[in-house]
Structure 1
Amino acid sequence: MKELEELTADIREKLPRLKNSIKAERLQDSKNNCWRIFMGGIFMGTTSNNELSKYVVNHINDYEIKINDVLEWHSKYYSKNSHFEVFNIVDNGEIYPAGVFIDYREEDPARYVWSLKKTDLKDQSPELIKFLHSLIKTKQ
């Protein structure tokens, strides 16, 4: 999905902590040359010196964009004509919280639901992704 790829790229570009910055930190008390790996400031795991380069290559894009990343991106760059609220939604008789982006660019505000059962951007509805993507094209 081209919109998801462009949206993800825009979020990564605008939030420096999500750029594919890899940092390896040697464990002080380690006898096995173990390293802690951080990507974009997020702890990804530990590895031995021999596995370090392989780990970096294989995990450079593993971090999925999450709701907290989207909310930070939205509030910093695109909140002029839309905002985010949390409501209880009923789905098949089950009540659960859902995030809702409300778009005020139209006379009749549109609402786009973020299912809080799924935290990754890639798992959200095509309608929500299309809305968020449309913000990139709008001057704010």
Structure 2
Amino acid sequence: MKELEELTRDIREKLPRLKNSIKAERLQDSKNNCWRIFMGGIFMGTTSNNELSKYVVKHINDDEIKLNNVMEWINIIHEGDRYYFFIFKELYYRLFEFWNLSNPYLKDQSPELITFLHSLIKTKQ
């Protein structure tokens, strides 16, 4: 989903602590527990080192964009708007109306919510 990728990229740009994150993807055809390692979205290499793999896997979920990150991002992109309070209130209302609270991750939310949040990027550029 292109919108989710663009939204994720914009949130990471606005929240620097999410930029230099470590991610790992397990190679699907791997019988030796091999992982591809990414740092800040840049491919760093592969490893089958179990200790490194355990460290990286532990940090995968810490790296995913969650509800609190989206709320902070909304606050940042609308900071300084003339009608900040009213915009902020309406955006949070819409966010909580559509966010599936049983799952904290942005990537697992509905396409309608992703499209709505993505539209906020387009209006601020």
The structural deviation recorded for 1:78 is: 3.5
Structure with the largest fraction of strand: 1
The structural deviation recorded for 1:57 is: 7.1
TM-score by length of structure 2 reads 0.58
Structure with the largest fraction of helix: 2
Q: How does 1:24-39 map to 2 (within 5 A)?
A: none
The structure whose RCO (Cα within 8 Å, separation 6+) is larger is 2
Q: Which runs of 5+ in 1 are unaligned?
A: 23-38, 41-49, 87-97, 101-112
Q: What is aligned with 1:99?
A: 96
Q: Which runs of 5+ in 2 are unaligned?
A: 23-38, 41-49
* Larger Rg computed on CA atoms: 1
The structural deviation recorded for 1:60 is: 7.7
The answer to whether 1:131 aligns with 2:119 is: no
Where does structure 1 differ by over 3 angstroms across 4 or more consecutive aligned residues? 54-62, 78-82
Give the number of aligned pairs: 92
C-alpha contact 2:14 2:76 (8 A) present in aligned 1: no
Q: Distance in 2 between matches of 1:16 and 1:55?
A: 25
Q: How does 1:1-140 map to 2 (within 5 A)?
A: 1-21=1-21, 51-52=51-52, 63-78=63-78, 80=84, 81=87, 82-85=90-93, 99-100=96-97, 113-139=98-124
Identity %: 60
